[in-house]
Amino acid sequence: MLGAADESSVRVAVRIRPQLAKEKIEGCHICTSVTPGEPQVFLGKDKAFTFDYVFDIDSQQEQIYTQCIEKLIEGCFEGYNATVFAYGQTGAGKTYTMGTGFDVNIMEEEQGIISRAVRHLFKSIDEKKTSAIKNGLPPPEFKVNAQFLELYNEEVLDLFDTTRDIDAKNKKSNIRIHEDSTGGIYTVGVTTRTVNTEPEMMQCLKLGALSRTTASTQMNVQSSRSHAIFTIHVCQTRVCPQTDAENATDNKLISESSPMNEFETLTAKFHFVDLAGSERLKRTGATGERAKEGISINCGLLALGNVISALGDKSKRATHVPYRDSKLTRLLQDSLGGNSQTIMIACVSPSDRDFMETLNTLKYANRARNIKNKVMVNQDRASQQINALRSEITRLQMELMEYKTGKRIIDEEGVESINDMFHENAMLQTENNNLRVRIKAMQETVDALRARITQLVSEQANQVLARAGEGNEEISNMIHSYIKEIEDLRAKLLESEAVNENLRKNLTRATARSPYFSASSAFSPTILSSDKETIEIIDLAKKDLEKLKRKEKKKKKRLQKLEESGREERSVAGKDDNADTDQ
């Protein structure tokens, strides 16, 4: 089985039927009440029970179907088993709720669970086929068949078997109950009716129900003394639904190479169980043969109670579950604590006369709530394999990618390992980043230092000039800018020299390796040009300095000549100076 097992408890609903005319006439009082808005029922004044659902006297058949059963039919289409069983004393409304009576004159709104489920099933089948055709997909194929069994006196009777000898009720039937390797229960020797439409199914059921009542009348025994188990098997072959996750992954590869649709087969079985009356034997006042029947009925329900108790009681979890104690529990084995979504509908009477039986039913139902079932999809082997292969492909694609990127390697001995280079690469990348940060910081330091050197050297030069009596603000500014330029060039020169040195080393190595490689002075022009540049600048600087000195001298002379001092003249001189400097 594929897919995670989904643990779900047996859900329990309680249905209180309305008081019957007879009860009203006999003056019975109502002793049950439901807390509004809560799934809680009070029996008398102080006995409260909480269930998954509680349906009061006025509840309708449809309400029970939509709230409890509808989801389970939907689940059948996804491959989940389901079981509904009705429990309660005789006359509490089990047959009415389940709809196993198949009263021909029944009104639409009074139809029980089975009729509604069958209609829903066939309607959904039609819808699924139509929607597939609309989407251009092959329509899903469905095979639906049904079985109808009755358990009476620990004997399995086949209600679909028309050749059945009603009088031979005490003879052993050929029906066998078996368990498959996955714990699923199946029967051998039971008539299986394949049905294609809703009316066909209903016709089958009516015949089955009729056969049951006829037998009961002939034997003068009420049908409430036996358990009726109606089972629908649904087998569906459909195109595998693609999940979004699958579309997103590299499955494109698969779909591209094979445009054919993949099919999966899902199976599900749905049990509808109308149990025999749960009342105690002494209340029925049965004797003789009737008493024996009564004991047998109680045997089935007793075993069911023990199974429920063993499954529901946490302290008894590990102990043996007595499924084999009765045919009923054996048939329902995979629905109780097995692979099925199970719901128990406990039917009770509201009348005070039935107080004790109602109390027993509620206690019994309460225990069933603790049973945990493991629900799984019944998928065929091919679909399981396809899914397994699909995840295998995804895994292998990932692995291949790792080989391609060199993360994984195989050495000469065929031993597989993660490449050291992969780790090393990661480490080197981190180191590289760190170094980049450091270089940036160092570059900033170098710039700052160079500025400082320029400052100091220009100060020094100014001092020298001042001592020689030639100091002047303009000159000092000029000196500063020249020195700055010289420093910048010097830095560039040092850098180029270092690069040059490295290249020269590489070249020597390369020449040593290859005799054809001629060591021409391919690298010198850079350094030469920068040397030349420096010399030129220094020459220029010298000339500029000379010019300025001459100008200074002229200025001094002019100053001596023209005794007047005035802004006009100075500014004129200033303008001239500027014009000169600009040249």
Binding residues for ATP, by number, are 88-95
If the CB atoms of residues 225 and 238 are measured against Mg ion, the closer one turns out to be 225
* Distance of alpha carbon 394 from alpha carbon 398, whole angstroms: 6
Please identify, among the stretches 13-21, 31-39, 283-291, 363-371, the one whose residues bind ligand ADP according to the rule CB under 6 A: 13-21
Q: Are 269 and 233 in contact (CB under 8 A)?
A: yes
Please identify, among the stretches 223-231, 254-262, 339-347, 538-546, the one whose residues bind Mg ion according to the rule CB under 5 A: 223-231
* Distance of alpha carbon 277 from alpha carbon 54, whole angstroms: 20
Place of tokens 């049951």: 212
Tokens of 178: 């078996």
The reply to whether 216 sits near ligand ADP by the rule CB under 6 A is no
Residue in the shown chain whose Cβ atom is closest to ligand ADP: 93
Site track 90-129 with ligand ADP (rule: CB under 6 A), x = hit: xxxxxxx---------------------------------
If the CB atoms of residues 93 and 338 are measured against ligand ADP, the closer one turns out to be 93
Three-state secondary structure call for residue 354:
helix
Separation of CA 543 from chain center: 84
Give strand pairing partners of 43.
Answer: 32, 47
The reply to whether 482 sits near ligand ADP by the rule CB under 6 A is no
- When binding is defined by CB under 6 A, the residue of 20, 177, 461, 507 that contacts ligand ADP is 20
- When binding is defined by CB under 6 A, the residue of 147, 153, 224, 351 that contacts ligand ADP is 224
The reply to whether 224 sits near Mg ion by the rule CB under 5 A is yes
If the CB atoms of residues 110 and 325 are measured against ligand ADP, the closer one turns out to be 110
The reply to whether 351 sits near Mg ion by the rule CB under 5 A is no
**Shortest CB 377 distance to ligand ADP, Å:** 33
Q: Are 53 and 68 in contact (CB under 8 A)?
A: yes
Instruction: Name the nearest CA neighbour of 530 among 503, 500, 502.
Output: 500
- Within residues 84-143, the interface with Mg ion by CB under 5 A covers 94-95
**Within 227-287, where are the H helices?**
244-248, 252-257, 281-284
Q: Are 365 and 221 in contact (CB under 8 A)?
A: no
Radius of gyration of the chain from its Cα atoms, rounded to whole angstroms: 50
- Within residues 327-366, the interface with ligand ADP by CB under 6 A covers 347
Give strand pairing partners of 351.
Answer: 30
The Cβ-side half-sphere exposure at 426, using a 13 Å CA radius, reads 6
The size of the interface with ligand ADP (CB under 6 A), counted in residues, is 14
Tokens of 344: 């128990």
Residue 91 contact, options ligand ADP, Mg ion, none, Cβ 5-8 Å cut-off depending on partner type: ligand ADP
Instruction: Name the nearest CA neighbour of 229 among 86, 340, 350.
Output: 86
Site track 255-284 with ligand ADP (rule: CB under 6 A), x = hit: ----------------------x-------
**Shortest CB 274 distance to ligand ADP, Å:** 7
Residue 234 contact, options ligand ADP, Mg ion, none, Cβ 5-8 Å cut-off depending on partner type: none
Report which DSSP code applies to 101: S
If the CB atoms of residues 59 and 224 are measured against Mg ion, the closer one turns out to be 224
> Can you give the binding site for ligand ADP, defined by CB under 6 A?
17-18, 20, 88, 90-96, 224, 277, 347
